[in-house]
Chain A
Amino acid sequence: GENVGLHLPTLSVQEGDNSIINCAYSNSASDYFIWYKQESGKGPQFIIDIRSNMDKRQGQRVTVLLNKTVKHLSLQIAATQPGDSAVYFCAESGWSGANNLFFGTGTRLTVIP
């Protein structure tokens, strides 16, 4: 895959368990955060986003938590399924109105059937 050369954090979970993927960001001025999922051979797929005026947002089976005090973002996946196996990236963007995302290195999630 595209991230083979990177020392990616890895997370292995049993099917049906909940997964928590963490991300630290560096720019305290970042206003907008997104989680992406990337499967081998595909482009990143949008999962969920959150703005800096929120600390939690929920989607279908996913929750994003934002802690601005420690500049930390997490993605929680409920009842993890084999199809959730992928590399997950967090990305941040500033309040510039421009769409330049800065991506983390990613976490490889492996779901064990």
Chain B
Amino acid sequence: KAGVTQTPRYLIKTRGQQVTLSCSPISGHRSVSWYQQTPGQGLQFLFEYFSETQRNKGNFPGRFSGRQFSNSRSEMNVSTLELGDSALYLCASSPGGGLYGSYEQYFGPGTRLTVT
């Protein structure tokens, strides 16, 4: 099976702009989670989508949003970019969850976003 893919791999934006990142999960996986990784804060959970619904959300401002399509592909959007949004954005896919609890998540290579 192909792994989790993320596009683009690298992105440079300026403050105030918005950005959309894309994630294609492993075939058959229905859950997609997004994480932000920075040197100062480490890995932090942004949100999770399952069957096109946001199922869980971390403590990030409303500028960070996402969605999931019927084929489980997911996008996240960051509006009004700030310098502090510079980070590696990681997407992880998982079979699902629910009655049997959480499942192992498989990460993509990430999108490196630089805000200038």
Contact = CB atoms under 8 A, between A and B. Distances in A.
A84 B74 CA distance: 31
14 contacts: A3-B37, A5-B39, A6-B39, A6-B42, A31-B102, A46-B105, A91-B43, A96-B102, A97-B101, A99-B33, A99-B97, A99-B102, A103-B35, A103-B44
Contacts of A101: 33, 35, 43, 45, 92, 102, 105
Given A43-B90, A43-B108, A98-B55, A3 B102 contact: no
A19 B86 CA distance: 33
B61 interface: no
Interface string B71-100: 000000000000000001010101001111
Is chain A's binding surface mostly helix, strand, loop or mixed?
loop
B62 interface: no
Is chain B's binding surface mostly helix, strand, loop or mixed?
strand
B48 A34 contact: no
Given A45-B107, A99-B97, A105-B42, A2 B37 contact: yes
